[in-house]
Structure 1
Amino acid sequence: MSKTIFITGASRGFGKLWAEAFLKRGDRVVATARNTDALNDLVAQYGDAILPVKLDVNNRADSLAAVAKAKEHFGTIDAIINNAGYGHFGTIEETTETEARNQIETNVFGLLWITQAILPVFRAQGHGHIIQVSSILGIVTLPLLGVYNASKWAVEGISETLAQEVKQFGINVSLVEPNGYSTDWGGSSAVQSEPIEVYDNLRQSFAETAQQDGFYGDPEATSEAILKLVDAQQPPLRLFLGKHTLPWAKQVYESRIAEWNEWDEVAVAAHGN
């Protein structure tokens, strides 16, 4: 049975790839983008199965209206994929106030507005699946991506809380946590802070690591995982994408647990009774 999937940031990258994967198998897709012309090829190929909606997720009123339009058009929405977002590159010291606010506005508040918009729909239906595109950088960090890291950690906190709140309504929540992929995320869609020279060695080291063979995954290889996630009767709260994610997470969490254990005596004493 076909499903109706609502995808933000569908003009390129993961969003467009996943939109096409759903359309290919016969699902219906609500595809939002700031520039819907980027979706003309999908409209030409799939016709009425796709509803392009012009949307800047930073606008809460427009986000509410986009979800309402999708519900009115297709009658139901089975899953929503909060994919809209971008990467900001710059050390903490280099990041301007405007850059920091813009990153959080899109990656956190944009996702929050769409999430709030869909919840009454899913509650009325008695079912629905909210899929939040986070990142491995929502549970670990890299230098030069501090505010981006922060935005994804916020997404993790919002979504894990949400999962506990809405389970009673038959609503599932999943966090998708990819490692690096060869999308435009680090290219023209990214924002770069004005560099401070003292961090140039760190930038060089980062660039050399990213240039290693196999560092980035193939975006097209992710589509099957997303189809399986949407189809799952009991979807996971978290789904890694890519071969680097689990080993990296294990390494970081083992280090964290070791440090917490080392300082546990101090922590317990601080309880006071």
Structure 2
Amino acid sequence: MAKTIFITGASRGFGKIWAEAFLKRGDNVVATARNIASLNDLTEKYGDAVLPIQLDVNNKADGVAAVQQAKAKFGSIDVLINNAGYGLFGTIEETTEQQAREQFETNVFGLLWVTQAVLPVMREQGHGHIIQVSSVLGITTLPTLGIYNASKFAVEGLSETLAAEVKGFGIKVSLIEPNGFSTEWAGPSASQTEAIPAYDGVKAAFREGLSDDSWGNPDATVDAVLKLVDSENPPLRLFLGKVAYPWVKQVYADKLATWEEWKDVAAAAHGH
């Protein structure tokens, strides 16, 4: 049975690829973007199955209106994919107040506003699946991406809590956690800080740690996303790419070893 999928940030990258994959198999897609001209090819090819909506996720009222427009056209919203977001590259010291706030406005608050807008619809219909596009950098971190890391850690905490709160309404929540992929995320879509030369060595070391094999092919994610959407019991977290799991496994082994080493100090701090 065809589903109705609401996708933010559908103008390019993962959002555009996934939107077309859903449309190809017969689903309805609500595709939002800041510039809906970028969606013309989808509307020409798939007609009434796609509803393009101009949306800046930072505008809470517009998010509510977009959800109501989607419900009015298709009658329900089965899946929300919060994909809108961007990367801010630069060290923490280099980051301006405006850059930090804008990163959180889009990656955290924009995601929150659209999530809040769709929840009454999903509660009323008694089912739904909210998929938040996080990152492996919401589980562990890389230098020169500190504010982006922090925004995705916030998405992780928000979404894990949400999953517990809405389970009783028949609403499922999943976090997609890609490693690096060859989208425009690290290119035209990214924002950059103004460099402080003292960090040149840190940045050079970061770049040297990357290889061509570090970046996945975004088109290869389609099957995984379709399986996630179709699952009767979807996971709370799903990595995309072959780099994420072994990396996080090692990171958590190191964390557990440190916690084990300091467990007696921690327990004594309880006081009784």
For the residues of structure 2 that align with 1:64 and 1:47, how far apart are their CA atoms?
24
1:52-96 deviation digits (Å, cap 9, x = unpaired):
000000000001111011001111111000000000001010000
Query: Are 2:12 and 1:12 aligned?
Result: yes
1:95 equivalent in structure 2 = 95
Aligned ranges 1:156-167 → 2 under 5 Å: 156-167=156-167
Q: Could you report, residue by residue, the CA deviation over 1:185-231 in whole angstroms, capped at 9, with x for unpaired residues?
A: 00011000000001111111222222x13110000000111011000
> Which residue of structure 2 lines up, in the alignment, with residue 246 of structure 1?
245
Aligned to 1:224: 223
The separation in 2 between residues aligned to 1:165 and 1:77, in whole angstroms, is 19
Structure 2 residue identity aligned to 1:89: F
Alpha-carbon distance between aligned partners in 2 of 1:80 and 1:188, rounded to the nearest angstrom: 25
The residue type paired with residue 97 of structure 1 is E
* SS in structure 2 at match of 1:254: helix
Q: Specify every segment of 5 or more residues in structure 1 that has no aligned partner in the other structure, as ranges.
A: none
Aligned-partner residue type, residue 242 of structure 1: G
**Superposition TM-score, scaled by structure 2 size:** 0.99
- Deviations, residues 162-202 of structure 1 (Å, cap 9, x unaligned): 00000000000000000000000000110000000011111
Q: Name the aligned partner's letter for residue 9 of structure 1.
A: G
Secondary structure at 1:214 match in 2: helix
Q: Which amino acid aligns with 1:248?
A: W
Indicate yes or no: 2:234 matched with 1:235.
yes
State the number of aligned residues.
272
Q: Secondary structure at the match of 1:101?
A: helix
Matched with 1:192 is 192
Cα RMSD for the two superposed structures: 0.6
Residue identity opposite 2:68 in structure 1: A
CA distance in 2, matches of 1:87, 1:213: 19
What amino acid is aligned across from residue 266 of structure 2 in structure 1? Answer: A
State the distance in 2 between where 1:77 and 1:106 align: 22
TM-score, scaled relative to structure 1: 0.99
2:53 is matched by which residue type in structure 1?
V
Match of 2:62 in 1: 62
The whole-number CA distance in structure 2 between the counterparts of 1:182 and 1:208 is 17
Deviations 1:97-124 (A, max 9, x none): 0000000000000000000001000000
Secondary structure in 1 matching 2:6? strand
Match of 1:215 in 2: 214
- Separation (CA, whole Å) in 1 of partners of 2:105 and 2:260: 36
Q: Partner amino acid for 1:216?
A: W
Distance 2:244 2:208 in 1: 19
The answer to whether residue 53 in structure 2 is matched with residue 39 in structure 1 is no
* Consecutive aligned runs of 4 or more in structure 1 exceeding 4 Å deviation: none
Tell me the equivalent position of 2:263: 264
Q: Structure 1: how far apart are the matches of 2:72 and 2:209?
A: 48
State the SS of the aligned residue for 1:137: helix
Structure 2: 5+ residue stretches without partners: none
Aligned to 1:113: 113
The equivalent residue for 2:176 is 176
CA distance in 1, matches of 2:26, 2:223: 14
User: Partners of 2:212 and 2:103 in 1: how far apart?
Assistant: 29
Alignment-mate amino acid for residue 203 of structure 1: K
Deviations 1:211-252 (A, max 9, x none): x13110000000111011000001100000000111011100
Secondary structure of the residue aligned to 1:65 is helix
* Partner Cα separation in structure 2 for residue 21 and residue 31 of structure 1: 12
Q: Distance in 2 between matches of 1:172 and 1:69?
A: 22
Aligned partners of 1:41, 1:88: CA distance in 2, in Å?
A: 29
User: CA–CA distance in 1 between the matches of 2:179 and 2:147?
Assistant: 17
